[in-house]
Structure 1
Amino acid sequence: MGFRLMRKGMLCLLVSLVGAMSVPMTASADTLWAIGDSTAVGWDGHKIVTAPYPLVAADKLHVTAHNEYSVSGAMISGHSTYQRDFSATTQLISKDKAFKKANLVLIGLGINDYLHSDNALPVVIGTLQNNVRQLKALAPKAKFYALMPQGTWEDGDTLNTIRLGGYSYLQEKQALLLAYQQLGVKPINARVVNNFNYHKELGDHTTHPTQTAYYKIGEAVAKQIAGDGYTAKTYTGWRDKRYYIADKLANGLQTTVAGYRYFDDGVALRSRWLKRNGKTYYLAKNGAPAQGNILIDHKVYAISTTSNGSNQLTNTFASRGLVKDAYVMVKDATGRKVGWRWIKAGRPYTGKKTVNYKVYTYKNGIRQAATAGLPIK
């Protein structure tokens, strides 16, 4: 992950977090999309932390996080010589078909405009309004939230310092607050970093939080979104090759839309024997418990339901052992029919058998012809 320093004191390095981030042990039907700067990426002044605040918030809310549109150095309005602005991000998002299904959108921009943009405050606010309206049109069912800029301590207490754009941090924050309220975007104040603890909570002691502080910010974001009445819809189904039931990784024998499957932390076990509650099962190549006379490792096993036809999970598809001496329809481990075979002691029989007063010859379980030479139909 490469980066280069844009300018001294810049709100982080040019690092983008690539790829959708998701919570490993849970998967919700709902998604949270973050659009932010280096604090959303998780830069602590020295490195990118493991859990930036969007991922922490998503975990607490039990939703899947999308943080790929958070970019270090991001601004709302950009700079005359540094165009990493909200409009460019919105254009990228407009091409992402998944965004239209977003449930939560969290905007975390503004501090870089105050620190480094030469655009006046009306330009910043106008750009914000245009882009939020576009995003709302792209994801009409989403709830929009905005994490208010926490401030910066580059020169100690700088709340009233006028910078390049001709406005102070407090003036920007008040203008952002009013704009968000008019746009129907609910502002969130994390209130984690302040004049008394910034040296401890900020990794570079000026702008970028530590991992501990990011965790607190994420918790605060989740708490305020939950307090707004939001509850994630539970998710059941496949995601990233794992199966979830009500947001949790599936374990044990479970019913899916494809039938029974046996899971270990969401992974369907396949092509293997399994013992459970005194019963023995064989899980086919597709993960389904096998039924019938199954050819496994050159032996044919009789696998069926219990004698009373019970469909209880603890009894279904128990193995009865090797086929002893019978003419049966054999399937392979995938469930595909191999054909009728005479099986003895689990193996295809080669030799002669008397059936209905006729002597037949079998080769690898396949019936050849009667002794009288008549063809077998």
Structure 2
Amino acid sequence: MLSEQSAATVRATLPAVGAAIEQITENFYSRLFTAHPELLRDLFNRGNQASGAQKSALAGSIAAFAGYLVEHPDERPDVMLSRIAHKHASLGVVPEQYPIVHEHLFAAIAEILGEAVTPEVAAAWTEVYWLMANALIAIEKRLYEESGSQEFRDWEVVGRDEETADVVSFRVRPVDGSPVRGFRAGQYVSVGVRLADGARQIRQYSLSGGLGEDVRQFSVKRVQGGTTPDGEVSNHLHANVRVGDVLQLSEPYGDLVLDDVAGRPLLLASAGIGVTPMVAMLASLAADGHDAPVTVVHGDRSPADHALRTDHQAYAAKLTDAAVHFFYERDAEPGSRTGLVDLSGIDVAPGTRAYLCGPLPFMRAVRGQLIEKGVAPADIHYEVFGPDLWIAG
């Protein structure tokens, strides 16, 4: 897939590009938002930009993609591309935006690396960029065709439930009364809101209910603390959105879904608000009559902080062979455990497929414990809320 000449050039320059990638992406975003301020106002997550998380994720994905092409010139990292494409589709990214990114990214590379960017180097990295961009454009086109729409629709809030002090679930129905397309348990929607300063900010929230109904449910944890705009959408939803209000939602996207799980042992591990896709998965497994073992693991600060706890327990109880393990840092009740999630005392059946969602340190720890227990790395799937920094790890 990557030409022999370009592969040799990328291999030789990858260490230099990798060492400067943070500077390159900082320069790139500065250029991009100076030329197109509307992208920061209406498309990019301002909180992630302010915290540096988006820059780190972009750096990681570029380096990972280039490194993969060098090692496997006739292949492409489809898992990574799928994850990025689902996020792009949920935001409504279009092909016309890729040349804009290319223009400002390569201007940044040239400025940071200077004379090291010879015509040969520029051509090689241009090839890498367009291999990645064209692959994403093709995947996103397919996703838009499958979803039936690239547009955000208006949805009316028909229910609002205070799950915990910091988590609210919103139930929404299409304003125009049109049919609601099905979604796969584990997927998310993008929710767009207009903030006080006029910016239209978009965030992704896992669907925590509404399978097979004309109503969808998503749950929002309020993000507090710090001086960056991170959490401005969650706080807006908590403070201002009530029954009767209208929100803009995308179609469902996301690749953390239950594929080929019939007859397979499963482990669903979550922490904090990562519980949301797991509850939807349990509901789906219960509805399908899944009869293989299912191990449910969740970690939280306390039972009072455990969002959707009743649903979590109820759907697991509907399965014929489920084991539930809840871990709380404080106020653990009989039947639950005190402390962080620890799989050392939990049986994991041979052939288990695992699904993880929660903070990155939690998922890294659980993944390591699962591998120690003999779970194949290819059978461990995860979802990151926000930029996928695991790619860079």
TM-score, structure 2 normalization:
0.23
Computing the radius of gyration from Cα coordinates, the structure with the larger value is 1
Higher relative contact order (CA 8 A, sep 6+): 2
User: If each structure's strand is expressed as a fraction of its own residues, which one has the higher value?
Assistant: 1
